[in-house]
A = this chain, B = another copy of it.
Amino acid sequence: MKKIAVVGCTGAVGLTMLELLENTDYAVECMASARSAGQTLKVGSRSYLISEFSVEACAACDIVFLCVSGKFALQYGRQLSESSFVIDNSSAFRYEPDVPLLVPPVNGAAYQGEKLIANPNCSSAIALMVLGPLHLAYELDSLIVSTYQAASGAGKPAMLELVENTKHFSDYGESNSSSNFPYNLAFNVIPQVDQFESNGYTKEEMKVVWEVRKVLACPDLPISTTAVRVPTLRSHAESLTIKFKQPVNSLSAVRALLQRSPGVEVIDRPDEKRYPMPMTSTYKHAVEVGRIRHNLIYGDCGLDMFISGDQLLRGASLNAFEIMQLVSA
């Protein structure tokens, strides 16, 4: 029986990982800061005593899942990987050449036993579930992404704040303050996720660029992203404009390809008003894809589509869980 440490177990991603582990036979060690240590954490039918994080306690585990800050990960990640497999959910190691960045259904076959593994950004992970099979079939030439990102990407307090701020606006007709987003998100959209880089893009936008390139092993793939926070709770959506090197002659073939791809659910029946939405993708393991149509600029070589996936599951914990299965195999 493998032993897993979940470090940062009280956060939204940590809790979602514990939900995924509930009905498995992994032994689970819950770790957090001294503030939470000693508390009991109930997740479904399991109950955990939270212990304080320590390198020694981690070393006693086969796999360590870090759902902590990038700063914390940077400090301990490599050291922990001397004794255990380490799956890091932060961006600390994602762009290091010796650290694989894995979306198991897409590039799991390229995994060569490395001890330190990076879990991708949520927007990247969700898009890659669809981009991976499409790239194999038609070869990506360029990609334009506009995101519709949920509050959960900013953590559990951000989700609660969105609900509170929405109530306040509904009752008083005006916005109150925000501590989890740059501005109040209730009945608003905010074109800033993470900090700005010197090229005018946010780090979130550049993460999509860097990570799609790395996972697809296309270091020069032209990609442009606009990342926008919208008032939804835990499912991201993304509008994708893709140019391929090979012509895409049949939309039915595209739908069939995606439907048989693991972790992807095609919902594409406009005549029945069926398409991807946060309302339906929330709590779902698969990424929803629909609105698949030939792009009006690139003709046969272009597709536009819309996707939606649970940010905490497919965008974080579920991908990490699949990495765990990969290293446990």
Residues of A within 8 A of B (CB): 142, 144, 146, 148, 162-163, 166-167, 170, 175, 182-184, 187-192, 196, 199-201, 209, 222-224, 226, 228, 230-233, 237, 239, 241, 251, 270-271, 273, 275-279, 290-297, 302, 304, 306, 308
Contact = CB atoms under 8 A, between A and B. Distances in A.
A143 to B, nearest CB: 8
Contact of A270 (B146, B170, B200, B231): B200
Given A182-B273, A232-B189, A279 B175 contact: yes
B146 A239 contact: yes
A296 B200 CA distance: 11
A201 to B, nearest CB: 6
A164 to B, nearest CB: 8
A146 B238 CA distance: 10
16 contacts: A144-B297, A146-B239, A148-B148, A148-B230, A166-B170, A170-B170, A187-B233, A189-B277, A191-B239, A191-B276, A191-B306, A200-B270, A222-B297, A223-B296, A224-B296, A226-B241
The 4 closest A-B pairs by CB, nearest first: A200-B293, A146-B146, A146-B239, A222-B297
Contacts of A292: 200
Contacts of A241: 144, 224, 226, 241
Nearest to A182: B273
Contacts of A273: 182-183, 192
Copy number in the complex reads 2
A278 B230 CA distance: 11
Contacts of A188: 232, 277-279
A279 B176 CA distance: 12
B277 A191 contact: yes
Contacts of A302: 224
Contacts of A239: 146, 191, 226, 228, 239
Contacts of A306: 191, 226, 228
A191 B224 contact: no
A304 B167 contact: no
A60 to B, nearest CB: 39
Contacts of A196: 270-271
A233 B230 CA distance: 13
Nearest to A276: B191
A315 to B, nearest CB: 16
A191 B291 contact: yes
A287 to B, nearest CB: 14
A279 B184 contact: yes
Contact of A279 (B183, B200, B270, B279): B183
A232 B183 CA distance: 14
A201 B239 CA distance: 13
Nearest to A195: B270
A199 B294 contact: yes
A251 B230 CA distance: 27
Given A188-B279, A191-B276, A200-B270, A223 B297 contact: yes
